[in-house]
Structure 1
Amino acid sequence: MAAVEDTSKFSEAYPMKGGDGPNSYANNSTLQKGYVDAAKELLSKAVAEKLNTDVLLSSNTFCIADLGCSVGPNTFIAVENILEAVEFKFQSQGLNLQIPEFQVFFNDHTLNDFNRLFKSLPQTRRYYAAGVPGSFYSRLFPNASINFFHSSFALQWLSRVPKQVVDKNSSAWNKGRIHYSNSTDEVARAYEAQHAEDMECFLNARAQEIADGGMMVLVIPGRPNTLPHSDSLVNVSFQLIGSCLMDMARKVVDKNSSAWNKGRIHYSNSTDEVARAYEAQHAEDMECFLNARAQEIADGGMMVLVIPGRPNTLPHSDSLVNVSFQLIGSCLMDMARKGLVSEEKVDTFNIPVYIMTSQELEAAVERNEHFSLEKLETIPRTLVSSTVSPIQLVVSHMRAGSEGMIKQQFGEDILDELFDLYRKKLEEQSSIIASGTETAITFLAVLKRK
């Protein structure tokens, strides 16, 4: 048996905030839950139409992997939806007595709060559960071992920040910013290239792991094809955080550093060099992901991905996700000017999130050649019932998802002030939420191993 490769070298780890405290991901992921619920009907239809039970009858075990599971409870809801859909498929074909046992693998980075995850496992679950630590941009499972891959709100995370955007000698240096969404075209292209590379890795990995006839369903936050990166709500949020951090740093700002994207933390409104670096990283990551899954997926397996995205014609800067990052970057800039954080730390901080279009996803699958894209649909928007205001809901979700990487760069002391400033900026620019929501999209992708 060949040695199993350590996946930690393939990816930087920025897990969601663990535990069950007021700022935890477990208590601040209702928006993601809304899309899991909305995707249920599309997922069930995909299984009913595409899952080939003939190739499954030779085995009494149906293996499911949820990639980027975090700490729950959304992963448990998604798994239950998959089980119900598969069981109904068998029952509808008169195979009630041949319904297999279910093995579910919960995957996330090694730093994920797996203790919290396993403590929360449903007591009435109808499957065997196991944790699989590691990056999904590389191999996670044996060849042809997984029947059904699922991933929701995970593939927008790049495997790493593009190298160019933290290289002081690169034209794509994202100086003073933490994301691509309000940076130069160079920064945006760096993110785009990283995303394309990541998708290639993702699909190649899955192509090896998925069983014959397997499926993959992806739920991905996205943006319309014509929406600029800077107009995405998530990207605007990161811009605000970046602005807050800059407000905490020195008042003196280098006026000659436009090529370094000073004051930005994301690619979506940065230079072309930065955007290309992100695009290259995404492409590499997707290639790693798909190659790993291609080896792991079992005979007759499927992969379902839920991915935040953007419309094909939407610029990076106009994506709702990217607009959110831009706002966070703006907050960091504000904090840098007040001397509350180091300007150098802001200059070297970049958000490894890339919002893809449907065309980019289709291109990644086509380049990979191991999977067929059976379905690619946009999940309908859902209204989230909450006792807090829409702005506070956005703030709490953004903090739960990004606190870990911000704390790693700037320490814990700035967090309360940073997100309070972020909330104030959202209140001052409340129209961003309304306009960004109109262009925010989430994809559901269903893939089968060729």
Structure 2
Amino acid sequence: MAGAVQSVVSLSKALPMNGGNGLYSYANNSTYQNKAIVAVKDLITEAIAEKLDTSLSSSNTICITEMGCSVGPNTFVAVQNIVEAVLNKYQNLVHDHSRLPEFLVFLNDHALNDFNTLFTSLPPDRNYYVAGVPGSFHGRLFPADSLHIVHTSYALQWLSQVPEEVEDVSSPAWNKGRVYYSSAGDQTVKAYEDQFAKDLDCFLHARAQEVVCGGLIMILVPGRLDTTPHDRVFSNISYDILGSCLMDMAKMGITSQEKVDSFNIPIYFSSPREVEATIEKNGYFSLERLECLPLEKSQDTIQQKARAVSYHIRAGLEFLLKEHFGNEIIMDELFDSFNKNLEKSQVFELGLTYSLFALLKRKTTLID
């Protein structure tokens, strides 16, 4: 399995969110992710209260990593929720509060991530120490048995790469005329599904070497119900609309049809059944809890919703779009068109939005 992990790491593509604090930055366009983090706060508190073994750390230091941290501010909310939950557990057990643990938090993302913005926006009153760890979470990042809690929020839906067969013109999974899988043929959908399972397995295999036995992994990822078709997921509908805008630009000669045909968004929205199957097959973690939570719908106007979605997706995909299309496509024109098409669509009526929360505990199984 180690060779398989290494191959995924070598292929893992760095796709940073827009850095800085500008109009289209991730920092200013990630309220959707923030709502998800707030929605699972109680689940995280319960998980730590019920499942965290206080004897895991012999040095009185709890090591936590936040994987796929991007540039904030959501990562700081998630970390604070975890730290407070651990402190509450210890305070209920330890009468001498001078023996409460200290916290070392590792913030991880690809090396191209805007770590400058991340660190300049650190909460000044934080009650934990911080270090940055650049690199792909699809492979090893930490020494063996060094982590007590791993948290990742809205990051594992990003694939390490577009499935190879999706970009192969001789494959039945070739995604001609689309930039995403959700309305494509069964072979294309299966290629995305298999890539997600492979990536999640590599993530878990790497963490199994780094997390102490009894340590916890908390995964929050956008997903869907087992019964929800891919083309009814809100974000999937939105990506298909973006794809139609790119196709329109190809018809107008702004870019080529071949350029659009070779562009695919490396994101997959999994179901609880798929996540559970991969965890079980991996074998290094017990699945302690798995929840599929609907996100509260916005009460904004259609125009406000469309603008928020357009900015949100631009913050996440602009790097990828620029890398593929270069100067052929002007981002303002593409996303103006996208915004107008969102307003005319039924995405806000038909699209379904869920978050998957999974709590895993490291078994005593030896690493292969």
For normalisation by structure 1, the TM-score amounts to: 0.76
1:24 CA displacement:
0.4
CA distance, structure 2, for counterparts of residue 103 and residue 42 of structure 1 = 22
Deviations 1:89-116 (A, max 9, x none): 1011135332211000001111111111
Contact 2:68 2:153 in 1 (8 A): yes
| Other-structure match for 1:328 | 242
State the secondary structure of the residue aligned to 2:103: strand
Give the deviation of 1:8 after TM superposition: 5.6
Aligned mates of 1:109, 1:41 — CA distance in 2:
29
1:342 to 252, 256, 264: 256
- Once the two structures are superposed, the pairs formed by residues 163-312 of structure 1 within 5 Å of their partners are 163-237=164-238
CA contact (8 A) 1:176 1:344 kept: no
Question: Which amino acid counterpart does residue 15 of structure 1 have in structure 2?
Answer: P
The equivalent position to 1:355 in structure 2, one of 269, 285, 294, is: 269
Match of 1:71 in 2: 71
Residue 377 of structure 1 deviates from its aligned partner by: 1.4
Partner of 1:448: 361
Shift of 1:7: 8.2
2:3 corresponds to: none
For residue 153 of structure 2, what is the aligned residue in structure 1?
152
Report the counterpart of residue 417 of structure 1 in structure 2.
333
Correspondence list, 1:104-119, <5 A: 104-119=105-120
Q: Hey, what's the Cα distance between the residues in 2 that align with 1:199 and 1:35?
A: 20
Secondary structure, in 3 states, of the residue corresponding to 2:149?
strand
Find the aligned partners of 1:386 and 1:120 in 2 and give their Cα distance.
Answer: 28
Deviation string for 1:230-251 (max 9, x for gaps)? Answer: 22111111xxxxxxxxxxxxxx
**Deviation readout 1:333-390 (Å, 9 max, x if unpaired):** 1111011112111111111111110011111110111101111113352355879711
Distance in 2 between the 1:365 and 1:30 partners? 29
| Alpha-carbon shift at residue 55 of structure 1 (Å) | 2.8
What residue in structure 2 maps to residue 139 of structure 1? 140
Instruction: Report the Cα offset of residue 330 of structure 1.
Output: 1.0
Unaligned runs of 5+ in 1: 238-324
Q: Distance in 2 between matches of 1:379 and 1:417?
A: 35
Query: For residue 347 of structure 1, what is the amino acid of its counterpart?
Result: D
Q: Residue 355 of structure 1 aligns to which amino acid in structure 2?
A: F
Write the distance in 1 (CA, Å) between the matches of 2:112 and 2:300: 29
Q: What percent identity do the matched residue pairs reach?
A: 52
Aligned to 1:102: 103
Q: Does 1:370 align with 2:284?
A: yes
Q: Does 1:397 align with 2:312?
A: yes
Instruction: Describe the SS at the equivalent of 1:55.
Output: coil
Output the CA distance in 1 between the equivalents of 2:175 and 2:194: 15
1:110-140: CA deviation from partner (whole Å, max 9, x where unpaired) = 1111111111111111111111111111111
Task: Tell me the equivalent position of 2:80.
Answer: 80
Residue in structure 2 matched with residue 302 of structure 1 by the alignment? none
SS in 2 for 1:66: strand
Q: 1:245 — aligned with what?
A: none
Give the whole-Å Cα distance in 1 for the aligned partners of 2:211 and 2:17.
27
Give the match's secondary structure for 1:379.
strand
State the secondary structure of the residue aligned to 1:87.
Answer: helix
Structure 2 distance, partners of 1:367, 1:151, is 20
> How many Å separate the matches in 1 of 2:11 and 2:66?
19
Distance 2:359 2:251 in 1: 47
Q: Provide the rounded CA distance (Å) in 2 between the counterparts of 1:370 and 1:142.
A: 17
Task: State the alpha-carbon separation in 1 of the partners of residues 8 and 166 from structure 2.
Answer: 23
Deviation of residue 59 (structure 1)? Answer: 1.9
Distance 2:314 2:191 in 1: 25
Q: Residues 186-241 of structure 1, C-alpha deviation per residue, up to 9 Å, x if partnerless? A: 1111111111111111111111111121111111101121222122111111xxxx
- Aligned residue pairs, count: 355
Cα separation, 2, equivalents of 1:390 and 1:373: 36
8 Å CA contact retained: 1:224, 1:440: no
Does the 8 Å CA contact 1:10/1:137 hold for their aligned counterparts? no
Letter in 2 for 1:206: R
Alignment TM-score, normalising by the size of structure 2: 0.93
Could you tell me whether the CA contact under 8 Å between 2:147 and 2:210 is conserved in 1? yes
Shift of 1:6: 10
Q: Find the aligned partners of 2:299 and 2:68 in 1 and give their Cα distance.
A: 25
Equivalent residue letter for 2:310? V
CA contact (8 A) 1:51 1:215 kept: yes
Q: Is the 8 A contact 1:147 1:214 kept in 2?
A: yes
1:287 aligns to what? none
Amino acid at match of 2:197: A
Partner of 1:36: 37
SS at match of 2:201: helix
Cα separation, 2, equivalents of 1:332 and 1:24 = 22
Q: 1:356 is paired with a residue of what secondary structure?
A: coil
Letter in 1 for 2:291: E
Q: Is the 8 A contact 1:377 1:445 kept in 2?
A: yes
**Per-residue deviation, residues 404-439 of structure 1 (Å, max 9, x unmatched):** 11111112542111111111111111x222221xx3
Kindly indicate whether the alpha-carbon contact (under 8 Å) linking 2:294 and 2:353 is maintained by their aligned counterparts in 1.
Answer: no
Question: 2:56, 2:212 within 8 Å by CA — same for their partners in 1?
Answer: no
CA distance in 2, matches of 1:117, 1:53: 30
User: Following the alignment from structure 1 to structure 2, what is the Cα–Cα distance between the partners of residues 195 and 129?
Assistant: 30
Gaps of 5+ in 2: 1-5, 364-368
SS of aligned partner of 1:141 = coil
